Amino acid sequence: MIVILFTGGTISMRHDPAAGGAVPALSGREILDATRGIERVARVEAEDWGAFPGPHMTIERMWALRNRIAEHLARAGVSGVVVTHGTDSMEESAYLVSRSLATPKPVVFTGAMRAASDLGWDGPANLLDAVRVAATGEAAPYGSLVVMSGRVFAGIDVTKAHTHMLDAFESPGVGPVAVIDDGVVIFRRALPPQSAPLMPVEPATPVDLVYAAAGTDARLLDASRETARGVVVAAMGRGNVPPAMVPGIERWVSDGKPVVIVSRAQRGRVGPTYGYPGGARRLIEAGALLAPGRRPTQARLDLMLALGSGMDLPGIRQLFEG
């Protein structure tokens, strides 16, 4: 049996004239009724877990969803879980599950780019595909997955790369792990070995995310340092920041709080290539940590999990740089 957790998102929305746009309106049952043929793929059980637009998903809600997924996966008769989710934060929930759950059963996220009142509502087709993926034994080694527009992405590397197109999701540089062709799930690549999941009682918050841009200074870093437990800096290129940001990073390090450097670029890794003021090599020497293969939101979630697990700075460094 496949459990489907309905959490909201565009897949559950209709245009509301009073609101002037799409808002949550459909129950899980109504979405299932529109998904013709699902009963021929697998036996399903539905749960209306929430009705949240993607931007309304907080870290606390994501963690509660993660825990509910774990409860269902622990049931003997459940072979997988499908989660309908708002696409704006879907990649973060999928990554959080990938990094914090160890299970031989698949967790498949899906949603829609068009609301039920739009011509070409893609929700039912995506839900049917997600159940297909969850029902195949080949999905188990991949942990969490995201299924959208006939493509299957690993939760560990997927991102929303377009604001509104049906094929909005990508795994930059590596592509999907599978495609769905005429109802058949065809896996095309394996995942590299993954680090052990981090399973704290709860993630540590707040952890902030500060972007570098031309001429950025230390004001946001200094404001964040007052209350945040850690910070991720989305740097330029290979992990470089404007010189005016460096004093702010140094103040974070002096306070004994972790500063994690990633790139704002969609593809590639950060590394100690540049030695000029603000270059990644100088940031390492100042005590910042590099997270070579992570995007900004991924590093933020990993830092929350690490701090929540009680890791010290050497442990966090090993997590990100190991």
pLDDT in tens, 118-155: 999 999 999 999 999 999 989 999 989 999 999 999 99
Is residue 213 domain-shared with residue 183, that is, in the same domain?
Answer: no
Catalytic hit among 7, 10, 110, 297: 10
Rg (CA), the chain: 20
Is residue 68 domain-shared with residue 144, that is, in the same domain?
Answer: yes
CA-CA-CA-CA torsion for 237, 240, 243, 245, nearest 10 degrees?
100
Q: How do residues 74-120 score in pLDDT, each as one tens digit?
A: 999 999 999 999 999 999 999 999 999 999 999 999 999 999 999 99
Name the residue type at position 201. Answer: V
Domain at 275, CATH number? 3.40.50.40
Query: Which has the closest alpha carbon to 147: 185, 100, 121?
Result: 185
Residue 199 has a pLDDT of: 96
Is residue 152 domain-shared with residue 274, that is, in the same domain?
Answer: no
DSSP secondary structure, 219-247, as one string: HHHHHHHTT-SEEEEEEBTTTB--GGGHH
- Is 198 inside a domain boundary? no
Query: Which has the closest alpha carbon to 308: 229, 234, 209, 231?
Result: 229
Residue 98 has a pLDDT of: 96
Output the CA angle 139-145-147, nearest 5 degrees: 100
How confident is residue 194, by pLDDT bands cut at 50, 70 and 90? Answer: confident
Range of the domain at 123: 2-187
Q: How do residues 9-36 score in pLDDT, each as one tens digit?
A: 999 999 999 999 999 999 999 999 999 9
Domain at 120, CATH number? 3.40.50.1170
Q: pLDDT at residue 322 above 80? A: no
Is residue 257 domain-shared with residue 175, that is, in the same domain?
Answer: no
DSSP secondary structure, 265-307, as one string: SSSS---S---STTSHHHHHHHT-EE-TT--HHHHHHHHHHHH
Is residue 232 domain-shared with residue 149, that is, in the same domain?
Answer: no
- Is 13 inside a domain boundary? yes
Q: Starting at the earlier edge strand, list the strands of the sheet with 289-290.
A: 207-211, 230-235, 259-263, 289-290
Is residue 125 domain-shared with residue 72, that is, in the same domain?
Answer: yes
- Is 269 inside a domain boundary? yes
**Stretch 296-307: mean pLDDT:** 98
- Is 251 inside a domain boundary? yes
Is residue 125 domain-shared with residue 247, that is, in the same domain?
Answer: no
Is residue 139 domain-shared with residue 236, that is, in the same domain?
Answer: no
- Is 201 inside a domain boundary? no
- Is 197 inside a domain boundary? no
Is residue 38 domain-shared with residue 143, that is, in the same domain?
Answer: yes
Is residue 270 domain-shared with residue 129, that is, in the same domain?
Answer: no
**Stretch 295-305: mean pLDDT:** 98
How confident is residue 227, by pLDDT bands cut at 50, 70 and 90? Answer: very high
Q: How far, rounded to the nearest angstrom, does the alpha carbon of residue 267 sit from its chain's CA centroid?
A: 16
- CA distance linking residue 92 with residue 100, whole number of Å: 12
Task: Single out the residue in 187, 215, 242 at which a domain terminates.
Answer: 187
Task: Single out the residue in 156, 187, 218 at which a domain terminates.
Answer: 187
- Is 193 inside a domain boundary? no
Residue 195 has a pLDDT of: 85
Name the residue type at position 187. Answer: F
Task: Provide the number of structural domains found in the chain.
Answer: 2
Is residue 312 domain-shared with residue 239, that is, in the same domain?
Answer: yes
How confident is residue 297, by pLDDT bands cut at 50, 70 and 90? Answer: very high
Task: Single out the residue in 187, 222, 256 at which a domain terminates.
Answer: 187
| % of the chain residues with pLDDT over 70 | 100
- CA distance linking residue 82 with residue 189, whole number of Å: 21
Mean pLDDT of the chain: 97
Residue 321 has a pLDDT of: 85
Residue 68 has a pLDDT of: 98
**Stretch 156-181: mean pLDDT:** 96
- Is 195 inside a domain boundary? no
Is residue 29 domain-shared with residue 173, that is, in the same domain?
Answer: yes
Residue 238 has a pLDDT of: 97
Assess contact for 229 and 205: CB atoms under 8 A.
Answer: yes
Establish whether 10 is a catalytic residue. Answer: yes
Tokens representing residue 267 in the block: 């593809």
